[in-house]
Chains A and B, each alone.
Chain A
């Protein structure tokens, strides 16, 4: 195996995912119109409740951060789901592609989608709300860790989908929605009830959003917790994915033999 071969196989997933995205108006909406609609709805709501530019900026930056998580995890999961729904997983896994290459291709897709969303968000935020990022370097660092968290979630999603197949789909799509509550995107974590607050401390996303809020003066970030938790989630998700892949291979669920 050479590095070039490995990268080419990873690129195959990027090729597939992006072609499928640009070939379908509805898929393209997932990366363009829907995030913009959400951004406008939440930002206008924040504006109507409290016309404080700092709060509006916090909401916009929070939405942007959460889009990074969502687009990254979807970039990884959608590549698998497409093959699953097309019943073409056999054709995929009979090729020399390895699990890590498949994930890398998903990460490339996620990065590409994140770039589209971020550019559109910046333009929209500037145009409608004249919002700008107070501390760009802090914001970029936070986005980087949210990207890493998105990769972890994408791998956890896939780990669930290998053995559970179609039964996992509904669980997979609801995980990010549940995590929104614990991540404190639009509010300080301190308002959460004590058990939920404790739980939130174990999520890298809640610390990353604290870093975003720190840029607008609404919170203080714990960088050590952010770095450690991001690494733990990433390694844990990868190990879970490997275990799940092997389990699916053993039980015949990878390509539904059993």
Chain B
């Protein structure tokens, strides 16, 4: 079963390579990966969906935690409920003859129209993975020209949120362990 990890890290150059490389190096596939800034300046959140063997996820988490720039790691699939969202942009064929039907279908999935041309409409869809799949199936008969997806973003449910980030320091007066 695929597991979703949320990783907080310093947003230094190269940290994406360290995280992605570590997962690849230990023999696992990244199904989806999204990165963005958080409300804390200098801190990024990675949402990574990993396809691996059951039992390997604990090891992946421990190894990720060893990266110096990684602040915290939660395996959302294992550690409590979480909310997930995907965002896709879909360019659907929509000449005047079938435009009302396309828009009606878009309405059903609460898509937003973000661009409109003579022959096509670009729609924005957000939702969980199931909705993405259903929505794509629904637009297929009209003709999908192209799509772009964000991959999964996820957060643990309120009340199970990550602890506050605490910066700790090492000064000369302390003995290094």
Tell me if chain B binds chain A: no
A interface, CB within 8 angstroms of B: none
